Structure 1
């Protein structure tokens, strides 16, 4: 298990911010140019999750995932003026929400050797 150091905490906090940013951008832009806006936003979430897991391990990955999910949840709710970024019953909105969860979950299943920078054993 990795040590909990100041570097790990800093990277985890940065990953949370990156996840919040990716979730906010995706929630706003997933309907922009159909279907490519959705595809690019899901690719952004996948890239952020994979990058944070490779950069600082599980704590950063969990923080980025929480950031994405919080941003999607908050921005999907009704705003003070009654406006909604992800309308209920809209297929594109459901594809964004479920696709983001699937993208985050798929990174959890990636083998460790894909995200660790350890040299192969020398013969």
Structure 2
């Protein structure tokens, strides 16, 4: 594994923000239009985390997952007025939390070749065609 570069750290920070935005949107909107709000929010998690993994590999994947779960956990707790966006007794809230977790695990299990660019046909990396 190569040491982290400034570009990779910047991508990790960008995907952390992406994950945080997806977590906020999903936590706020998973109950909007039942059941489609939940389905769309889980699909949004799947696409965002897959994009993060394809963009920079595991460091950007971890950044997106960290942002997603940090924002989801902060918003799932009790607010200052006692409001709860994801009640523990509600199946929609459990569907959101477990659906997001399932999407994250599925992306982690995706083969590397699905998210990695292929080298030029006939050549190998570092060895251009004659």
- Please give the TM-score of this superposition, normalised by the length of structure 1: 0.96
Distance in 1 separating the partners of 2:2 and 2:14: 18
The equivalences for 1:37-116 within 5 A come to 37-116=37-116
| 5+ long unaligned stretches in structure 2 | 124-130
What's the Cα RMSD here? 1.2
Is 1:4 aligned to residue 20 of structure 2? no
Higher Cα radius of gyration: 2
Alpha-carbon distance, 1:121 to partner: 5.1
How many residues align? The count is 123
Structure 1 residue ranges without an equivalent (≥5): none
Indicate the SS of the match to 1:40.
helix
Task: Give the SS at the match of 1:84.
Answer: coil
Superposed CA offset, 1:92-114 (max 9, x none): 00000011011001100000000
